[in-house]
Structure 1
Amino acid sequence: MKKMNMAVAAAALLLMASCGTTKKMEGAGKVNANDKKTETKADQSAALKNLAFVQKVSDNQVYTNNIVGNMNFNLQAADKDITVPGKLSMRKDEVIRIQLFIPILGTEVGRLEFTPNYVLIIDRLHKEYIKADYTQVDFLKKQGVSFYSLQALFWNQLLVPGTKKVTDADLKKFSANLDAVGENVPVALQYGKLNYTWTANRNSGRITEANVVYQDRSTSAAKLNLKYSNFKSVGVKMFPATQNLTLSAMVNNKPQVVKINIDMKSVKTDSKWEAQTEVSDKYKKVAPEDVLGKLMSM
């Protein structure tokens, strides 16, 4: 049963240069000026179209501060394939909480909680817990994962690493490939060693997939793929009740693949619940070193 409640913590997270030469030719100055003017207008038009589409994608985010719902939670990793009932509770800018329960009995056996300041993992069966900030959890530290980047992924939104939310000024940082064939448009953002690509519906701007790649010369790439589906109405916006996550990374010098599927039975906006979990004094605190590697080996 320990596999069931602790394995949930394996959720976690990543120039083109051009040059040219000019050649002086008789009468070329006037032609070059016209070409430059035409090119400038084309560039401006493309930039406005890019910005308009990215704005459409950003505008799809739900307005509510709370997302709550019972769910079926499935985890596949190595020889594990576990499905248990659970609950997802999120409060904007405060907490992302995943609870796992014993089937039929409904007793909570495990809890994973992300807040802006720390990660909390509770094993209720063995009365153990891990509480650490993001720099203390080796895997999260290496990937530069923060609460706000995780929040954006869970909430089906664009994100800019190191920021609390995407502002109107940030929208220019994203590149939308409007020339892509088909009903979907890739929206990309590069940030240091992290490359983000969102797939958004051309007509609605709704995000249906997110890909994050972290590439370091000293390690193999860590990849996160998140697919969104089963959208349900939340006010005037839509929220994906089904989220399928695949994480590929090197753990203890071995390639590991973790798949987590969250299938919410309903999406509610209840606000009558406590955002902070108090851990009983009867629980033993466990060191956070190499959390992912230890949990994956269970």
Structure 2
Amino acid sequence: MEAQDTKQNWLTEEQSAESMETVLKKYLPEENGFQKNLTAAMNYSVLVGGKRIRPQMMAASYRLFGGQGKEIEPFLAAIEMIHSYSLVHDDLPAMDNDTLRRGKPTTWSAYGEAAGILAGDGLLTYAFETCAKAFALGGKPEQVGRAIGILAEKAGISGMVGGQAVDVELSGKPVSAEQLDFIYRLKTGALLEAALMIGAVLAGASEEQVKQMEKVASDIGMAFQIQDDILDVTSTEEELGKPIGSDERNQKTTYVTLYGLDAARAEVKRLSESAIQLLQTLPGDSTFFQHFVRKLESRSY
């Protein structure tokens, strides 16, 4: 589906999940042709719900460094497609074997296991097809090219997929603190790093500022994953929209199993403060980011 321009400029508004949803829908594939079951499964995977954290963070980073163009839009959609594909594959029987996500059937349980695998494959590939649209939306070629490279690196074997591979390999085995830190920083943190770095790059931030945003995202990502560990043992299925206790069921080592709930909560607090302090050293108004970090820190779902 070709992206259409709109009269309303979302960049002038609060970067809410609703505004990200509007942008995302513009870039999803049409459900037609012999492969329409595939595109339907892809769209289901993306639109089944979610907090749209990564595109919100990317948009906020873009604005923080003065970005005002439309070339950011395809990247907002693309990073959510990649995040969605990772969840689709996480839920597969060979991985976490989950049948419920965000209160609805997981993609493989709704469309079949083979369709779930292909929907994830389709979303990953389509994400980069979507990124390429930024060239036609006024993006500077060197900035768009670098942003695509960042997304590929942070989503791939040196990022999210690499962390997932180690996580799967060590499932049911003793995991050291060093290994757990590696898994969390790649599996969860890498895609958040991509979001903040891409926003900064497309807005023309300096190399040092891009590195600072990478560190901010690293702290946020680690805090987010540790909070997930906490919620897996303290929340309810109704609040989370997915089964609780999956870490224990899958014999996974988590920050909570290594250090306990109190230490886990303290670490979430420390990482959140670290991110906020670094944000305060950057130019522009980082109020949105600071509120966002506080919200993530105290989330119950």
TM normalised by structure 1 equals 0.24
Of the two structures, which has the highest relative contact order with CA contacts closer than 8 Å and spacing of 6 or more?
Answer: 1
Specify which structure has the higher proportion of helix: 2
The structure with the largest alpha-carbon Rg is 1
TM normalised by structure 2 equals 0.24
Specify which structure has the higher proportion of strand: 1
